[in-house]
Structure 1
């Protein structure tokens, strides 16, 4: 069973970076994407860096050609320590989806955001 905890006001979450909050003694990054709000544990599973404080960006798309195609702008957070890229919606590491950072459901009530733990 999960419990909802107040995280922050919705208007405090910027479009292009995470709002870092502490909920139940856990650092959590709250993100605003086009489809709503998402929350990830602010700890990179690789070496423990502050994952959600890295840049919100896109990534290069795999193609059959020898070209770089930028894709998924604003949907990826890149760990500032070693550049590992994680999907903000799922928490999955792009290179190996078996590696994940913890994600949390988030709900909006009025102008308040609640993280479900």
Structure 2
């Protein structure tokens, strides 16, 4: 039976990634986008499942929601990343697409410890 070994990889001091900011890092040949959404940290694979685009290089935005017939409002500002290739939108917190929640991008657990931000990675051993 394979054992999952978890590793914390340091990203940066938390004050280097202010709310609304993101950065792309490379861990073990994997490109990962790290986002600060309102003081909460999230990490996503920088690979759109639609066509392989650099998802985390896309615009961080909100989305339009139809509240009732003929009424649309702007919601979730700063919580959505839009792929720069074909505009697929993903929830930064969950990695799920907005249009088809059965499709998602891989997420990574983030940890804040002693003023530093880490990503938890795992590998089978």
- The counterpart of 2:12, out of the listed 8, 15, 19, is 8
Unaligned runs of 5+ in 1: none
CA contact (8 A) 2:18 2:39 kept: no
SS in 2 for 1:62: strand
From 109, 113, 117, give the equivalent of 1:113.
117
Deviation at 1:16, TM superposition (A): 2.6
Greater share of residues in strand: 2
Structure 2 counterpart of 1:24, from 18, 25, 28: 28
Q: TM-score, normalised by structure 2?
A: 0.86
TM-score norm. by structure 1 comes to 0.92
How many residues were matched structurally?
117
1:53-72 correspondence runs (5 A): 53-72=57-76
- 5+ unaligned residues in a row in structure 2: which ranges? none
Distance 1:51 1:93, change over 3 A: same
Q: Secondary structure at the match of 1:70?
A: strand
* Residues 63-72 or 82-91, more deviating: 63-72
